[in-house]
């Protein structure tokens, strides 16, 4: 089985893309709704919560987990891969949604930490909309800068978006908030052109249309679910030991919060009913 972890509902946008790409694969989703949101938490707290989520998913029989939470991936992924996973769970692995986005922007594989001498990335400016913790981590500018130094990265934290999206706020409430964050990012550019933006939170694809409406014409909007599904396929081709047996498709949904409440709200993110089961925190 393949696990998918998020602090709340947002990872369901990634899960939907994974299921659509390979409906015969079995998935287990865990939303840490009791501790959400992660974006305003400190790094050590995020790391601890992420480790706890991995332990729950490994206990469910997952050999591979995708961290479908940009905050957790940005803050905790490299640390847990290097210092926790090898000793605690050898033979299992954890991936994150930040990796496919960095690869798509730089066109350089994640495992290459420095730009190859013959790689000439096109100079351009990329904006990143993300949670405060993801912005504070510096993961996007750091990892993009290693692989494509000619790409300028400008970040904008969006602290109010996840709570609004989680509670199902209407477009009338969301649109001015999104427009305000877009205006703040553009103000950092001092009139310089913007080529593309990263929606660096898995909640944000649900309001991608509002970002597109607020951004200048011609700015490319990069969302993570499709890129993550493509990246997982490529990873499983390289690592068949993590590939589930065919014909075992299906999804189980777990939450550390209220299962009835989460089930009621989460279907909007996944596009189908999501019968969550309660997992003790």
Known binding residues: 6-7, 38-39, 70-71, 202-203
Q: Which of 62, 158, 201, 223 is catalytic?
A: 201
pLDDT value for 112: 65
> What is the model's pLDDT at position 272?
82
d(CA 262, CA 275): 9
Q: Point out the annotated binding site for substrate.
A: 6-7, 38-39, 70-71, 202-203
Domain 100-223, architecture per CATH = 3-Layer(aba) Sandwich (3.40)
Quick one: pLDDT at residue 121?
Answer: 61
Residue in 62, 69, 158, 223 annotated catalytic: 69
Question: Of 51, 204, 71, 89, which is closest to residue 139 (Cα–Cα)?
Answer: 71
**Same fold? 2-97+225-278, 100-223:** yes
Which fold is adopted by the domain 2-97+225-278? Rossmann fold (3.40.50)
* C-alpha span between 186 and 248 (Å, rounded): 47
Question: Which residues, including other chains, have CB under 8 Å from residue 106's CB and lie 6 or more apart?
Answer: 115, 121, 144, 147, 148, 151
The per-residue pLDDT for 202 is 87
Reading the chain (281 residues) residue by residue, the pLDDT tens digits are 899 999 988 899 999 999 999 888 999 999 999 998 898 899 999 999 999 999 999 999 999 999 999 999 999 999 999 999 999 999 999 999 998 999 888 877 766 666 666 565 678 999 999 999 999 999 999 989 888 888 999 999 999 998 898 888 999 999 999 999 999 999 999 999 999 999 999 889 889 999 999 999 999 999 889 899 999 998 999 999 988 776 667 899 999 999 998 988 888 778 888 899 998 65
What's the pTM? Answer: 0.87
Would residue 201 show up in a list of annotated catalytic residues for this protein?
yes
223 classed as catalytic: no
Domain ranges for the chain, please list them: 2-97+225-278, 100-223
């Amino acid at each position: 089985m393949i696990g998918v972890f998020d602090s709340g509902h947002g990872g369901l946008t990634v899960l939907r893309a994974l299921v659509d790409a390979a409906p015969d694969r079995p998935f287990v989703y865990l939303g840490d709704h009791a501790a959400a949101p992660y974006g305003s938490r400190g790094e050590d707290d995020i790391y601890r919560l992420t480790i706890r989520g991995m332990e729950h998913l490994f206990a469910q029989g997952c050999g591979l987990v995708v961290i479908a939470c940009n905050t957790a991936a940005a803050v905790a992924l490299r640390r847990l891969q290097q210092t926790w996973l090898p000793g605690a769970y050898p033979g299992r692995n954890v991936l994150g949604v930040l990796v496919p986005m960095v690869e798509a922007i730089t066109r350089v594989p994640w495992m290459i930490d420095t730009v190859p001498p013959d790689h000439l990335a096109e100079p351009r400016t990329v904006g990143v909309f993300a949670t405060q913790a993801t912005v504070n981590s510096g993961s996007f500018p750091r990892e993009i800068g290693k692989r494509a130094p000619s790409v300028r990265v400008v970040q904008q934290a969006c602290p109010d978006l996840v709570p609004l999206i989680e509670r199902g706020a209407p477009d009338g409430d969301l649109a001015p908030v999104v427009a305000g964050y877009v205006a703040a990012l553009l103000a950092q550019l001092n009139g310089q052109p913007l080529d593309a933006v990263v929606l660096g939170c898995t909640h944000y694809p649900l309001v991608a249309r509002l970002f597109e409406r607020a951004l200048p014409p011609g700015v490319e909007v990069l969302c993570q679910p499709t890129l993550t599904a493509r990246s997982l396929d490529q990873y499983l081709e390289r690592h068949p030991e993590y590939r589930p047996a065919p014909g075992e498709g299906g999804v189980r949904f777990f939450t550390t919060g209220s299962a009835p409440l989460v089930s009621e709200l989460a279907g909007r993110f996944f596009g189908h009913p999501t019968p969550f089961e309660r997992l003790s925190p």
